[in-house]
Chains A and B, each alone.
Chain A
Amino acid sequence: MTRSLLALTATFLGLSFVQAQDTSLHDFLVDGEDWKEAASGFAFTDGLCVDAAGNLFFTDVRGGKGIYKIDVTTGATSLALDNLPGISGLQIGPDGRFYACHNKGQRIIAISPTGEVEELAKEVKCNDLVVTKKGYIYFTETPTKRIHVITPDKQTRVADEGNVTKPNGITVSADEQTLVVSDYGGKHVWTWQIQADGSLTGAEPYMTMELPLGKEEAAGDGSTTDEKGRFFVTTELGVQIFDPTGRLSGIIAKPVPGGKVVSVEFGGADHQTLFVASGDKIFSRKLQTPGHFGK
């Protein structure tokens, strides 16, 4: 069998990309595994994040007391940190602290494991955030159409303004060179290249979300990334998965057909369990791929 040089080159160079690219739902879902209820009894769950061990943390924006934890071993839910109501976005940073969009207090805060709070930005209508391994914090401010960056030396700057109608969910590519923001009020998931100083260039509506019939807004919300660089975006239709080149691979149906999904993160000991915040509950299901964050 003869193969052209180009074909050989593409095959050789492209293998890892291709595995991450040409993926359908068959490559993500596990036969026989459906959504399972992981926590319940809340008002409006949000702010999913994960630690290295695979414990899942979340908040209850409307009714909660603080940061809740689903234990990776027992599956039990507990209040991990009290007296922190109204957090809408959460992630553990490279220093081991929680970083939070304290939506209720209109500020970005860092919280030590023992509960000491440091205020990093104030008077911001923050929605969701992501923290890079280099310690840059990016957060969305939905009503002002802005994305802000807080640099490791604690300077807050506007990183993008006006491109995204309702900037909401936020994540980074697996190599952390690309910032990704979902639009709650449109149909695109936007991307930028992250520059060495934390600034953003090359704004582009790189991914197009599937829309509910008759609507022009996908309700793009909380987002995360898997180990191979695929993006998981919560929307009105479900969790939409995009490959690293921005192509829609598939849509994981919502756990409650008429309900919402607003936040998504991988957890579990192998980081291969997908958790979603869905109204008063958290749901989880096993996938074939591990997440990017927390490790």
Chain B
Amino acid sequence: MKFSLLPLAAAVIACQSPLIAAPQDDQYLLGPDSQVQPGVPQGKVTQMPAWDQSKLYPGTTRDWWIYVPAQYQADKPANVMVFCDGGGFVKPDGQFRAPVVFDNLIAKGEMPVTIGIFINPGVFPAADGKEKPRSNRSFEYDSLGDLYARFLLEEILPEVKKSYNLTDDPEGRATCGNSSGGICAFTVAWERPDAFRKVVSHIGSFTNIRGGHVYPALIRKTDKKPLRVFLQDGRNDLDNQFGNWPLANQQMAAALKFAGYDYDFKLGEGTHNGKHGASMLPDTLRWLWNAPATK
């Protein structure tokens, strides 16, 4: 069966936790670097044909997009940043507006020329078209192990490389996500530091959804990996059967500090949504791409 270009984004969004903002979140607003600025060259966002031939997640299909900055030159390898739940990050009027932030920062020389790959989680289409697809998001994002890293390395990056010149330098490759996408972004780099060394996690689910609560313990007892990790959470984030998000993120930050990692942690006042992370995204990216390496 072929399901190319199905508008799956809405169905995927429907399967995720609500990103409901509360009064504590109202202080977090987008700054000028997250708004389209006159005179700044705009990169191009292309929606790719739905990825429905995955061998590692057989039977799934997913929407995805590629952002290519205006400054991209085919003879120069571009950096890469992969966004989990990419449909939300790529929206021009969305919470994060990552392509707009990229445009502004790249134009000012505050981050390198970077191709953004925005990927939604897979869904299993229902044979009966009247029924909703089944989300594969939790399986893909919350599971520990190297499967999602392999999905990027064996399926998505080779597909992007058919059209664009991407760097193979792991220092030039980053992952980013919110909530379960946040732990997924970390897991990719944790499993494959040879391929990805920069991580941005907002409201990351380092809790026991599928065993992710063990990361602080693993970080403390494992040889330091050459990663740069940015964590954000809010004091009013979730506390449920899976765990307590602010405590889990504080445990992550403490473990990264103990093990000597190159990391930053911003604990705000927000709830389980992207507003704080979105408001900081330009600063986060400046730090991620430019801070002097401490390895």
Q: Does A175 contact B13, Cβ atoms closer than 8 Å?
A: no
For B10, give its contact among A11, A13, A23 (CB under 8 Å): A13
Contacting B at CB under 8 A, from A109-125, are none
Tell me whether B18 is interfacial, beta carbon within 8 Å.
yes
Q: Does A250 contact B241, Cβ atoms closer than 8 Å?
A: yes
Q: Does B127 contact A194, Cβ atoms closer than 8 Å?
A: yes
Q: Output the nearest chain B residue to A26 by Cβ-Cβ distance.
A: B241
Q: Does B135 contact A245, Cβ atoms closer than 8 Å?
A: yes
Q: Does B124 contact A245, Cβ atoms closer than 8 Å?
A: no
Q: Once bound together, how far apart are the Cα atoms of A286 and B275, in whole Å? A: 41
Residues from chain B with a CB closer than 8 A to the CB of A25 are 241
Q: Once bound together, how far apart are the Cα atoms of A110 and B249, in whole Å? A: 55
Q: Once bound together, how far apart are the Cα atoms of A18 and B131, in whole Å? A: 17
1/0 per residue, CB under 8 A from A, across B40-83: the answer is 00000000000000000111100000000000000000000000
Q: How far is the CB of B96 from chain A (nearest CB, A)?
A: 9
Residues from chain A with a CB closer than 8 A to the CB of B135 are 245
Residues from chain B with a CB closer than 8 A to the CB of A78 are none
Which stretch in A1-9, A66-74, A144-152 binds the other chain?
A: A1-9
Q: Does B138 contact A245, Cβ atoms closer than 8 Å?
A: yes
Tell me whether B139 is interfacial, beta carbon within 8 Å.
yes
Q: Assess A193 versus B17: contact at CB under 8 Å? Given A173-B134, A202-B124, A247-B209.
A: no
Q: Assess A246 versus B139: contact at CB under 8 Å? Given A6-B13, A10-B14.
A: yes
Residues from chain B with a CB closer than 8 A to the CB of A175 are 126, 128, 131-132
Q: Does A193 contact B21, Cβ atoms closer than 8 Å?
A: no
Q: Does B17 contact A22, Cβ atoms closer than 8 Å?
A: yes
Q: Once bound together, how far apart are the Cα atoms of A22 and B20, in whole Å? A: 14
Q: Assess A204 versus B241: contact at CB under 8 Å? Given A6-B13, A17-B14, A193-B126.
A: no
Tell me whether A63 is interfacial, beta carbon within 8 Å.
no
Tell me if A's interface is mostly helix, strand, loop or mixed: mixed
Q: Does B15 contact A201, Cβ atoms closer than 8 Å?
A: no
Contacting A at CB under 8 A, from B1-44, are 10, 13-21, 23, 26
Q: Output the nearest chain B residue to A27 by Cβ-Cβ distance.
A: B241
Q: How far is the CB of B187 from chain A (nearest CB, A)?
A: 15
Tell me whether A195 is interfacial, beta carbon within 8 Å.
yes
Q: Output the nearest chain B residue to A175 by Cβ-Cβ distance.
A: B131
Residues from chain B with a CB closer than 8 A to the CB of A14 are 13-18
Tell me whether B289 is interfacial, beta carbon within 8 Å.
no
For B127, give its contact among A193, A203, A208, A246 (CB under 8 Å): A193
Number of A-B residue pairs having CB atoms within 8 Å of each other in the complex: 118
Tell me whether B95 is interfacial, beta carbon within 8 Å.
yes
Q: Interface size bucket, A side?
A: 35 or more
Residues from chain B with a CB closer than 8 A to the CB of A1 are 21, 23, 26
Tell me whether A244 is interfacial, beta carbon within 8 Å.
yes
Residues from chain B with a CB closer than 8 A to the CB of A173 are 134
Q: Does B10 contact A5, Cβ atoms closer than 8 Å?
A: no
Q: How far is the CB of B128 from chain A (nearest CB, A)?
A: 6
1/0 per residue, CB under 8 A from B, across A10-39: the answer is 110111011001111100000000000000
Residues from chain B with a CB closer than 8 A to the CB of A11 are 18-20
Q: Once bound together, how far apart are the Cα atoms of A201 and B134, in whole Å? A: 13
Which stretch in B86-94, B194-202, B218-226 binds the other chain?
A: B86-94
Residues from chain B with a CB closer than 8 A to the CB of A206 are 136, 139
Q: Once bound together, how far apart are the Cα atoms of A160 and B145, in whole Å? A: 25
1/0 per residue, CB under 8 A from B, across A189-213: the answer is 0011111100001111010100000
Residues from chain B with a CB closer than 8 A to the CB of A17 are 14-15
Tell me whether A249 is interfacial, beta carbon within 8 Å.
yes
Q: Once bound together, how far apart are the Cα atoms of A156 and B210, in whole Å? A: 36
Q: Does B93 contact A5, Cβ atoms closer than 8 Å?
A: yes
Q: Does A193 contact B125, Cβ atoms closer than 8 Å?
A: yes
Q: Does A7 contact B131, Cβ atoms closer than 8 Å?
A: no
Q: Assess A247 versus B210: contact at CB under 8 Å? Given A1-B26, A14-B13, A193-B126.
A: yes
Q: Does B15 contact A245, Cβ atoms closer than 8 Å?
A: yes
Residues from chain B with a CB closer than 8 A to the CB of A5 are 91, 93-94
Q: Once bound together, how far apart are the Cα atoms of A7 and B16, in whole Å? A: 11
Residues from chain B with a CB closer than 8 A to the CB of A10 are 13-14, 16, 18-20
A-B contact pairs, 23 of them (CB 8 A): A4-B95, A4-B275, A5-B93, A6-B94, A6-B274, A7-B273, A10-B18, A13-B13, A17-B14, A21-B17, A24-B241, A25-B241, A178-B124, A193-B59, A193-B125, A193-B134, A201-B58, A202-B58, A202-B59, A204-B57, A208-B211, A245-B138, A250-B241
Additional pairs, 9, CB under 8 Å, beyond known A204-B57, A250-B241: A4-B19, A6-B19, A6-B91, A7-B273, A10-B19, A175-B128, A201-B58, A201-B59, A204-B139
